[in-house]
Structure 1
Amino acid sequence: MTPRLIAAALAAIALASPARADDLRIGLSAPVTSIDPHFANATPNSSFARHIFDPLVVRGPDGRPMPNLALSWTALEENLWEFKLRPGVTWHDGKPFTADDVAFSFNRAPSVPNSPASFGGALRTVAKVEVVDPLTLRITTSAPTPNLPIDLTAIAIVSRHVGEGATTADYNAGKAAIGTGPFRLLSYSAGSSIEVERNPAWWGPKQDWDKVTFRIIPNPGARTAALLSGDVELIAAPSSSDLPRLRSDQNVRIFERQGSRALFLSPDFSREGASPFISDNDGKPLSTNPMRDLRVRQALSLAISRQGLAERVQQGMAEPTGQWMPPGAFGYNPAVGVPPQDLARARSLLAEAGFPNGFRLTLHASNDRYPADGQTAQAVAQMWSRIGVATTVETLPFATYLTRLAKQEYSIVQNSWGSSTGEAGSVLLNIVHSYDAPRRLGSSNDTRYVNPTLDRQIEEALSTMDPAEREQRIAAAVKASTDDLALIPMILFKAAWAARRPLTYEPRMDEQTLVMGIKRER
């Protein structure tokens, strides 16, 4: 063997084995678009932020709220909550964490410049934050908010002394990435990799790993190859087509859980006139936006074989659905079934709406965010073409897709939402409710659906303190939304991870890949 080949072999061995036994390498399926924990309300960003920053309340693997920086919370009145904070917590730079940092974070989170997906919805009713003492916080809400502790799981706490005046670029550069979390940021390369090291002063249990490298590997085949070669020790969202091979490998373990992420279609409601990616069959823009006609939305929904998407495209790693939560979830409505594919009825509805010969449109989707997202969009396009709606698919990297979506640049998109709160109100609040920036409602309603009657129904439901009555009201709002097809639900994903032995992972309903849940079996 020549010296060059020997050097190459040694480099390959070094790549396939961790530098130290307490180092860990993870392959992520989607990019983390910013280290700023308040920049974008997206699962990849929020999942990574948990390593650097702590929220007041965290969700367990089953979605239930658990104490974190807040040890306890009490509803003193319907509109007044008191949070007792954890003593002895310090920031990565050694300065003490106090209630003032929480007040600063609540003020910053909804107002980050150029945010493509605001966190304002989680703080929509927070009217006043009072620092009683360094470890006591009182929150006055503008309306009864029974889900406030769950809502606050979305808000990472950043320090006032570092964050005041800091920009998103400062967080990305590491300058402002000073948290209270179990790890400290070492480096961030957008779309490529992130490195963190263990925070020895973390208030929580000692972590098993000294250094962790997160590699962004959007291609599912490349993620599988990286795992099998030992280039990484754990991957998120293994491809469903690779799962049989991974299950048969004695060096690999699979960890699964039914998730709460729904994949759906969001039509453009922002325009009454021509919509940019819809035309007649000759390519001329239509004078009115057909997506605002319920019959057209019904036709597009009935053209879809949800069972086919779940079984063939997602290869069993999804369930067909007509709503956005699985059976048994808080607010799930059993009266909302899975719409059957009915091509004849779909064509009839199009004719009733004035499109007997259909029309043309472009469906936009991400190509690196969800399992088989591009393939699913292509399958939907083929189904629509069968009813005369000639559909072109344009897929984009998620970061680009999200930025353009926030500007209402599309005519219809394939979209998704993970209801990490574990209940159906999350979608109603963030996506279905009319966009109302001053009130922090509909913060992710990027296609600008508007229904004042449903808005009132949603607000009343989410302000109902009695749990049983609140669930009934949420379920009724779910049905009203699906009847009007504010969005067109298609499938619910199953969450999965694959790890090399002897690692184990505690699978999570919210799909988050957390180093804190990765253990080495002794």
Structure 2
Amino acid sequence: MCRMQSRLKNIVALAGLLLSLGAGLPAHAAALRIGLAADVSTLDPHYLNIAPNIALASHMFDTLVAVNPDGQLVPGLAVSWRAVDATTWEFRLRSGVKFHDGTELTAEDVLFSLDRPATLVSSPGPFTSYTKQIVAKEAPDPHTIILKTARPYGPLPLDLSSIFIVSKKAALHAKTADFNSGKAAIGSGPFKLVQFLRGDRIELARNEFYWGEKPAWDKVSLRILTSNAPRLAALLAGDVDAIEGVPAAHIERIKADPNLHLEQKVSWRTLFWHLDQSDRPSPFITDKAGKPLPRNPLRDIRVRQAISRAIDRQALVSRTMEGLALPASNLVAPGIFGHNPDLPVEKYDPEGAKKLLTQAGYPDGFALMLHGPNNRYINDAAVVQTVAQFLNRVGIATRVQTLPLSVYFGKARNGEFSAALLGWGSLAGDFALRTVVGTSNPQTGWGSWNWGKYSNPAVDDLVRHALSSVEPAQREEFARDAAGIALGEYAVVPLHHQYATWAMRKGLKYTARTDEFTFAHLFHPQ
């Protein structure tokens, strides 16, 4: 019996030795397994413009302009780009790039890829917003692209960071189903498709033709684990090597586990309140007896400022967000193009908030219902509840209703709420301003997420100047000026910038990204 126990001890010791030796082997000796927090609906890189699909497509396809982990534009398939004049852009393509099938990537593939989004007329979320500024295009040689816009348009390189380049040969007559089957999923990215099992996993293999730094992994398995508990359980059980979307409640547990560690970064996602500024009685505002008010108090800048001053952002970040956020004063996070460093975070001032309400004609406050999602952002339902507590302290009798995202977004976009929570991620301040606070215009797409119906022609004019500036410094100055005016008028009430968090086994390191994307090629062995 003792001899048997001794043998078992030796086997365990040998297994431990082999595991420790395995940790030092080249990374390509093993596959990488990642638990994803959201489902991937299609592998067609031009069909549905949503974050999970974009993150997955980035493994197999490249863009002309890439985005680095800090949210800055860097060369992708284009080694350089420049504005020849106010309406003409030149992109010089990288030489020697090959698709997964070994064929060479040329300017013809790029032109085809820029045209393809407009042909997918049944797309529920098209990519055409990134290409509609282009009115003419040509390829004077196999490695040069000339693009013309109808009017001066500075953000074109940023737009093209969202258009994936596909093989014209493989995709010319392809349907979206052909990408999902793998038949047309021929890109030039760091990985190539092995198998797509919708709702379960995506299997990838290293692209040996890749022009950039070769991934550390021969094989990658991206598992779809949309619920927090199973995703975390898979990591703890060793069924996956890393996960995204780490539940806030389990951060400390992971930190205390010697076999795991975290990678974090302030993300591009800013959470803020849209306050209804329509010239009508607001649907969820009454007096404290429940009687609708004859006019909308949120149209008064003093009321909006009072709401902002009533919120203790530091407490919100440290307690409700459990340290997974940074107090916000801008629509875009620090480091993002157009972030205005001169805008301070609003100081917590409940007494000042009460005085502002009195000045606005509401010395006894009023009643308000806050609305928000309960399954979209980190601790989103708790954030809404916390803000309600702050508002109650200054005399605004506040109730809360949180809804599933599938219900919430539709109602919010229809203007059915008085105060609605939104999280927005953008790599440029002028883009965010145009969409979130620009005067609503269905023809141009401006203000498509302007739930509060804020409108200021001076802000619109500055944003237009920013978007038409092809000189980056000038463009950023216009964007910062526009942000200063809009946020000075409490067009929205910023709360915080989320942290993006990944958890992984010991021995792995991830280059955390501002845009919250999870890329297998950014995982490396330590």
- Name the TM-score, length of structure 1 as normaliser: 0.81
Say whether the 8 Å CA contact 1:262–1:492 is kept in structure 2.
yes
| 1:380 counterpart (380, 387, 404) | 387
Q: Does 1:265 align with 2:273?
A: yes
Question: Greater Rg, structure 1 or structure 2?
Answer: 2
1:82 alignment counterpart: 90
Say whether the 8 Å CA contact 1:279–1:361 is kept in structure 2.
no
Decide whether aligned partners of structure 1 residues 371 and 95 sit closer, same or farther in structure 2, where only a CA change above 3 A counts: same
Partner of 2:165: helix, strand, or coil? coil
2:59 alignment counterpart: 51
Distance 2:74 2:133 in 1: 21
Distance 1:444 1:38 in 2: 22
1:183 alignment counterpart: 192
| 2:163 counterpart (155, 160, 175) | 155
Q: Counterpart of 1:461 in structure 2: which amino acid?
A: A
Please, what is the CA RMSD of the aligned residues? 3.6
Say whether the 8 Å CA contact 2:33–2:221 is kept in structure 1.
yes
Q: Counterpart of 1:189 in structure 2: which amino acid?
A: R
Partner of 2:326: helix, strand, or coil? strand
Partner of 1:44: helix, strand, or coil? helix
Deviation track 1:229-270 (CA, whole Å, cap 9, x = no partner) reads 21211122434443333233222232233333222122345x
Q: Counterpart of 1:426 in structure 2: which amino acid?
A: F
1:136 alignment counterpart: 144
Decide whether aligned partners of structure 1 residues 389 and 519 sit closer, same or farther in structure 2, where only a CA change above 3 A counts: same
Say whether the 8 Å CA contact 1:79–1:145 is kept in structure 2.
yes
Say whether the 8 Å CA contact 2:99–2:186 is kept in structure 1.
yes
2:483 alignment counterpart: 478
Say whether the 8 Å CA contact 1:117–1:406 is kept in structure 2.
no
Distance 2:508 2:483 in 1: 40
Decide whether aligned partners of structure 1 residues 292 and 195 sit closer, same or farther in structure 2, where only a CA change above 3 A counts: farther
Count of matched residue pairs: 497
Say whether the 8 Å CA contact 1:22–1:208 is kept in structure 2.
no
* Cα offset, 1:86, TM superposition: 3.4
Q: Does 1:226 align with 2:239?
A: no
* Cα offset, 1:138, TM superposition: 0.7
Q: Counterpart of 2:485 in structure 1: which amino acid?
A: A
Deviation track 1:149-199 (CA, whole Å, cap 9, x = no partner) reads 233212223455666686767756767654333232622434x54443444
Deviation track 1:193-241 (CA, whole Å, cap 9, x = no partner) reads 4443444444444433344333344554543332222121112243444
Q: Counterpart of 1:84 in structure 2: which amino acid?
A: R
| 1:520 counterpart (507, 520, 525) | 525
Partner of 1:49: helix, strand, or coil? helix
| 2:319 counterpart (312, 316, 328) | 312
Partner of 2:331: helix, strand, or coil? coil
Q: Does 1:456 align with 2:464?
A: no
Say whether the 8 Å CA contact 1:433–1:454 is kept in structure 2.
yes
Q: Counterpart of 2:462 in structure 1: which amino acid?
A: Q
Deviation track 1:87-108 (CA, whole Å, cap 9, x = no partner) reads 4545556665443443344345
Distance 2:448 2:373 in 1: 20
Deviation track 1:25-82 (CA, whole Å, cap 9, x = no partner) reads 2123344455444455544332222113221111122223222222322322232111
Distance 1:234 1:515 in 2: 10
Say whether the 8 Å CA contact 2:154–2:475 is kept in structure 1.
no
Mean CA deviation greater in 442-451 or 500-509: 442-451
Partner of 1:242: helix, strand, or coil? helix
Q: Counterpart of 2:271 in structure 1: which amino acid?
A: L
Distance 1:329 1:211 in 2: 33
Q: Counterpart of 1:44 in structure 2: which amino acid?
A: P
* Cα offset, 1:481, TM superposition: 1.3
Identical-pair percentage: 38
Deviation track 1:357-379 (CA, whole Å, cap 9, x = no partner) reads 41232412251x33222322222
Which ranges of structure 2 fall in alignment gaps of 5 or more residues? 1-27
1:502 alignment counterpart: 507
- Name the TM-score, length of structure 2 as normaliser: 0.81
Distance 1:431 1:115 in 2: 23
Say whether the 8 Å CA contact 1:101–1:159 is kept in structure 2.
yes
What aligned pairs does 1:83-98 form with structure 2 within 5 A after superposition?
83-92=91-100, 97-98=105-106
| 1:493 counterpart (489, 498, 514) | 498
Partner of 2:329: helix, strand, or coil? coil
What aligned pairs does 1:48-127 form with structure 2 within 5 A after superposition?
48-92=56-100, 97-109=105-117, 119=127, 122-123=130-131, 125-127=133-135
Partner of 1:426: helix, strand, or coil? helix
Distance 2:380 2:336 in 1: 25
1:392 alignment counterpart: 400
Distance 2:112 2:407 in 1: 30
* Cα offset, 1:515, TM superposition: 0.5
Distance 2:404 2:355 in 1: 33
Distance 1:133 1:436 in 2: 39
Q: Counterpart of 2:93 in structure 1: which amino acid?
A: L
Say whether the 8 Å CA contact 1:129–1:137 is kept in structure 2.
yes
Q: Does 1:339 align with 2:351?
A: no
Distance 1:117 1:220 in 2: 26
Decide whether aligned partners of structure 1 residues 168 and 243 sit closer, same or farther in structure 2, where only a CA change above 3 A counts: same
Say whether the 8 Å CA contact 1:299–1:346 is kept in structure 2.
yes
Q: Counterpart of 1:183 in structure 2: which amino acid?
A: K
Decide whether aligned partners of structure 1 residues 288 and 103 sit closer, same or farther in structure 2, where only a CA change above 3 A counts: farther
1:300 alignment counterpart: 307
Say whether the 8 Å CA contact 1:121–1:430 is kept in structure 2.
no
Say whether the 8 Å CA contact 1:92–1:184 is kept in structure 2.
no
Partner of 2:62: helix, strand, or coil? coil
* Cα offset, 1:396, TM superposition: 1.4
2:430 alignment counterpart: 425
Distance 1:403 1:170 in 2: 31
What aligned pairs does 1:4-23 form with structure 2 within 5 A after superposition?
22-23=30-31
Q: Counterpart of 2:349 in structure 1: which amino acid?
A: D
Distance 1:115 1:277 in 2: 35
Partner of 2:481: helix, strand, or coil? helix
| 1:371 counterpart (365, 369, 378) | 378
Q: Counterpart of 1:455 in structure 2: which amino acid?
A: D
Mean CA deviation greater in 510-519 or 25-34: 25-34
Mean CA deviation greater in 134-143 or 322-331: 322-331
* Cα offset, 1:292, TM superposition: 4.1
* Cα offset, 1:517, TM superposition: 0.4
Partner of 1:338: helix, strand, or coil? coil
